[in-house]
Amino acid sequence: MTFIHISKPWQIPESKLTSEKAYFNRRRFIKSIIGASIGGSILTTTGCQKSSSQTALEATLDTPKLKPVRTNPTFTESELDRPLTNNLVAGQYNNFYEFGGNKRIWMNAQNLPTEDWQVKVTGLVKKPRNYDLDDIKKRFSLEERNYRFRCVEAWSMALPWIGFPMKAIIEDVEPTSKAKFVKFSSFYDPEITTGPTLHFGSLPWPYTESLSIEEMANELAFFAVGIYGKELPKQHGAPIRAVLPWKYGFKGAKSIVKIEFVETQPATFWHTTVPNEYDYIANVNPDKPHPRWSQASEKFIGESSEIAWVRKQTLPYNGYGEFVASLYS
């Protein structure tokens, strides 16, 4: 009898997954020899012609410019302790499981239909709403915030989001006193979000995430509709996604279609799928190792136009303790 064991993508050891760097270096090496580009990965390589995939990537990032907005003075670029991540790198190194089980989903994510998007706000609220994107942009005043971004897989970026604080929605819909948690649901359509679903059987789609109401009301909790001065590209979770800089990246649901106020802690996608690896709270914590990734340090992907990283010590709450530590004392 032969057993063929196929690892689920999230069980593949880091040594395999993060041969990304080796992968990209190999590409660069090959490119430098033959002086031509190879499909698959896209890097800006000096002295080389732009590859067609580089052009395609740039097209996906060429979303409409947002009206210039103020940068929140607390979250300016100079307040960060690191440079912003290069936009071409951020746009080709993503997690969006609905569109695939690896980082290179940017092209597949272009299948996301964002026209006539609606965000339904429902559950234990006095004023349920159904916003379209124009409503959102008119009703809530947009601002820019430069935030550190930390994935539980121990890589990190620094990203310039445009959006509005989540507490603006709380004020608009007025949750009742019974509401203790909020649940976010991402777009899901099995015909479109074909990701690894077909190969790995049942996963608890749609992607859902959740916060306590107190967390949602915190100054840091943010809905982003833009990045790098433009509307969100699809690979970043267009047209609206959650950004929670003190938590691991998986808490920030992309392409949100529903916001629901509920009484008890709801089931969430990763916590349901692999509970011992993805806890509900998921605050960035260098002292709490993940079964596959020590969280003591991280690989920061910075301003280089190539996917390259530098090691940095991980900060408790990703450096945002002054805003959020009191929530957990």
Ligand X SMILES: Nc1nc2c(c(=O)[nH]1)N[C@H]1C(S)=C(S)[C@@H](COP(=O)(O)O)O[C@H]1N2
- List residues binding Mo ion (CB under 5 A): 95, 151, 249-250
Query: Residue 207 interacts with ligand X (CB under 6 A)?
Result: yes
Residue of the chain from 97, 140, 181, 228 that contacts ligand X (CB under 6 A): 97
Residue of the chain from 250, 300, 309, 317 that contacts ligand X (CB under 6 A): 250
CB of 326 to ligand X, least distance (A): 25
233 vs 254: CA distance, rounded Å: 11
Residue number of the CB atom closest to ligand X: 249
Smallest CA-to-CA distance from 20 within 301, 315, 284, 303 is with 301
Q: Which of the stretches 30-38, 70-78, 118-126, 247-255 binds ligand X when contact is defined by CB under 6 A?
A: 247-255
CB of 2 to ligand X, least distance (A): 33
The letter for the amino acid at 301 is I
147 vs 112: CA distance, rounded Å: 25
Residues 3-42 that bind ligand X (CB under 6 A): none
Give CA angle at 135 (162, 65), nearest 5°.
40
Q: Which does 300 bind (CB under 5 to 8 A by kind): ligand X, Mo ion, none?
A: none
CB of 55 to Mo ion, least distance (A): 28
| CA dihedral of residues 281, 262, 325, 161 (deg, nearest 10) | 80
Is the CB of residue 161 less than 8 Å from the CB of residue 145? yes
Dihedral sign for Cα atoms in the order 258, 259, 264, 267: positive
Query: Residue 95 interacts with ligand X (CB under 6 A)?
Result: yes
Q: By the criterion CB under 6 A, which residues form the site for ligand X?
A: 94-98, 151, 186, 207, 236-237, 249-250, 252-255
